């Protein structure tokens, strides 16, 4: 459910918010913002309303007003389920965060689960699973078969069918329970579990009873790392999962800059090749192969990505 669709608990405030939405959709964001302000006078503790007001103000060219509204969101919602801190960083109202709030990512994909594949594959031309599987198969010196594959951020399970025939056992982990339900419907994974890749390994939820530690000879992360900024935490998880010589196959959005990572207007992170190589090396992984490709469309524009194949050193 979108923030603008959440009720304030006040009938009149909701009605004004509905009118504001109509104005915004008609190309009148400034008028929409004025009406939304009136709604918030009636329901001042409506976090979703403040987030919607920020969007209208931004579209109207009022960046400082949008920043003020987003700060109101954070004052009311410490868990930041709407991702206000990310938006503040994009608008220059806060420092670049190292990762998005877990509650924001979980809600985003729980809400998106039912329409995820239709939207991403059919409308946006998402192609990472097929391209990543092809890169695994085509990289010289890689095994043709793996004992245990672990699909990090498996989502609805789009990568699973691409690699299932090449693994004895396939496990998938995701933060979103809604996504995991959809992945289970494919009957491709031997085990599915909830995990938070933004946390330290011991807190991620992946290593209870030592189920996966040090056993995987293939770890994948297709279109996942763009929801993390600093990759040190997730690489610590990958390292702990991986057996000696394990393969890590993954994608990032290409920052198209010499180093570091950036947060884009889409609220996704993009990483430079140099940054990814640095993080891999720091966790004992060596790049074996990589390719650059258009991984999907967004707003009619191509999104460029980098697909990596790396191996864990002895």
Query: Do the domain assignments include residue 100?
Result: no
Q: Which of 67, 95, 123 is the last residue of a domain?
A: 95
Give which of 167, 194, 288, 281 is closest to 235, Cα–Cα: 281
Q: What torsion do the CA atoms of 87, 64, 77, 104 make, to the nearest 10 degrees? A: -10
- Both 169 and 62 in one domain: the answer is no
- In this structure, is residue 103 part of a structural domain? no
Count of domains observed in the chain: 2
Domain boundary among 95, 116, 143: 95
Q: Which domain holds residue 266?
A: 108-312
Statement to judge: residues 141 and 257 lie in one domain: yes
* Statement to judge: residues 71 and 158 lie in one domain: no
In a domain, 102, yes or no: no
Is residue 25 in some structural domain? yes
Residue 207 has pLDDT above 80, yes or no: no
For residue 280, give the CATH number of its domain. 3.40.50.150
Same domain, residue pair 219 and 285: yes
Domain boundary among 70, 95, 120: 95
Q: What is the pLDDT of residues 71-94, one digit of tens each?
A: 999 999 988 999 999 999 999 999
- Three-state secondary-structure class, residue 234: helix
Nearest to 183 by CA among 138, 132, 222: 222
Share of the chain above pLDDT 90, in %: 78
Q: Which pLDDT score, from 0 to 100, does residue 116 have?
A: 77
Q: What does the mean pLDDT of the chain come to?
A: 92
**Is residue 292 helix, strand or coil?**
strand
Helices (H), the chain: 11-25, 29-42, 47-59, 63-76, 84-91, 102-112, 116-117, 128-138, 160-163, 177-184, 232-241, 273-282
């Amino acid at each position: 459910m979108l923030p603008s669709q959440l009720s304030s608990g006040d009938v009149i405030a909701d009605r004004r918010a509905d009118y504001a939405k109509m104005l915004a959709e008609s190309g009148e964001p400034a008028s929409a913002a004025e009406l939304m302000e009136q709604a918030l006078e009636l329901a001042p503790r409506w976090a979703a309303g403040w987030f919607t007001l920020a969007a209208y103000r931004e579209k109207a060219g009022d960046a400082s007003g949008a920043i003020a509204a987003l700060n109101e969101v954070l004052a009311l919602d410490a868990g930041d389920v709407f991702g206000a801190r990310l938006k503040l960083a994009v608008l220059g109202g806060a420092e670049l965060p190292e990762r998005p709030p877990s509650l924001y990512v979980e809600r985003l994909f729980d809400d998106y689960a039912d329409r995820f594949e239709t939207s991403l594959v059919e409308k946006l031309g998402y192609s990472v699973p097929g391209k990543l599987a092809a890169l695994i198969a085509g990289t010289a010196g890689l095994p043709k078969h793996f004992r245990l594959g672990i699909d990090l951020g498996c989502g609805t399970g789009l990568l699973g069918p691409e690699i299932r025939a090449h693994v004895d056992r396939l496990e998938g982990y995701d933060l979103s329970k809604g996504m995991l339900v959809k992945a289970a419907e494919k009957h491709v994974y031997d085990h599915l579990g909830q995990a938070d890749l933004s946390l330290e390994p011991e807190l991620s939820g992946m290593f209870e009873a030592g189920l996966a530690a040090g056993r995987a000879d293939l770890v994948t992360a297709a279109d996942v790392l763009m929801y993390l900024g600093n990759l040190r935490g997730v690489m610590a998880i990958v390292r702990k999962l991986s057996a000696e010589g394990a393969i890590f196959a993954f994608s990032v959005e290409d920052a198209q800059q010499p180093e570091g990572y950036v947060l884009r207007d889409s609220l996704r992170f993009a990483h430079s090749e140099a940054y990814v190589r640095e993080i891999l090396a720091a966790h004992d992984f060596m790049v074996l192969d990589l390719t650059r490709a258009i991984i999907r469309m967004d707003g009619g524009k191509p999104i460029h990505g980098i697909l990596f194949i790396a191996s864990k050193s002895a």
